[in-house]
Homo-oligomer: A and B are copies of this chain.
Amino acid sequence: MTTHTRPSRDDGTGAPAERRDPRLDRSRTALLDAAAALLSESGIRGVTIEAVTSRSGVARSTLYRHFPNSGELLAAAFQQLLPPIPAPPEGGTPRDRLLGLVLDQAQQIEHAPTTAAAIWLATSGLSAELPADPVERTQFAVLRQRIIDRYRKPFDAVLRDCLGGVPRVTAGDIDLAAAQLIGPLLFNTMIVKRPNDREFCTRLVDDFLTVHGSPTI
């Protein structure tokens, strides 16, 4: 089990971590470590309150002081397991960079926790009630944003770069590109259970460029 997010005082709320009771961090870290370990070992079903508390040595009541329910705990555990967003490929032709990007994403989708998190988020939205208040940044919401960023961020960089010559690259352009390039990977993985091999990815990129590629790229 490898945890990708370094332990941090920041609890994802963006609040400045001025002076806090250090015990809060201690117990929170212990909880997240245990939860993440259980998650990667036994899957979603393994992340029970009982298992997490007994493994971490943290008391039940303390757990509930950090997370309002088991869903939030799971969301936090997923965050713990998400690998950092890979740096977008920098050198080479625009085609190379786009291809690198798509291959990166394909690999991430292969990576269990990432997809699991994405799908779990979607499921939760259907089966359970979401926290309505958008202000309250729950772990659930944080996780959602991280998942989106994971798809979105690399495109921001590369596309903004590749289409640099073009006056305006709107957000809509990027959204469309992400949908067209990542969506098919998702479809393969989720629905038809087919692997995203290099050939498939190349095809996606080339088709994309056929349509959107300005002569300059």
- Which A residues have a C-beta under 8 Å from some C-beta of B? 43-45, 112, 115-116, 118-120, 122-123, 126-128, 147-148, 151-152, 175-176, 178-180, 182-188, 190-192, 194, 200, 203-204, 207, 210-212
* Closest chain B residue to A44, Cβ basis: B127
Q: Are A179 and B188 in contact (CB under 8 A)?
A: yes
* Closest chain B residue to A42, Cβ basis: B127
**What are the residues of chain B within 8 A of A175 when measuring CB–CB?**
192, 194
Given contacts A183-B184, A186-B191, contact A126 B122 (CB under 8 A): no
Q: Are B115 and A126 in contact (CB under 8 A)?
A: yes
Count of chain copies = 4
Q: Which of B119, B176, B191 contacts A123 (CB 8 A)?
A: B119
* Closest chain B residue to A147, Cβ basis: B191
* Closest chain B residue to A177, Cβ basis: B184
The 10 A-B pairs with the shortest beta carbon distances in the complex, nearest first, are A183-B183, A183-B187, A44-B127, A183-B184, A179-B184, A116-B126, A122-B190, A207-B211, A123-B123, A119-B122
CA gap between A128 and B194 in the complex, in Å = 20
Q: Are B118 and A190 in contact (CB under 8 A)?
A: yes
Q: Are A176 and B203 in contact (CB under 8 A)?
A: yes
Q: Are B44 and A126 in contact (CB under 8 A)?
A: yes
Report which residue of A43, A120, A123, A191 has the largest number of chain B beta carbons within 10 angstroms of its beta carbon: A191
Q: Are A126 and B118 in contact (CB under 8 A)?
A: no
**What are the residues of chain B within 8 A of A191 when measuring CB–CB?**
118, 122, 147-148, 151, 182, 186
**What are the residues of chain B within 8 A of A192 when measuring CB–CB?**
148, 151-152, 175, 178-179
CA gap between A210 and B209 in the complex, in Å = 11
**What are the residues of chain B within 8 A of A182 when measuring CB–CB?**
183, 187, 191
CA gap between A112 and B203 in the complex, in Å = 32
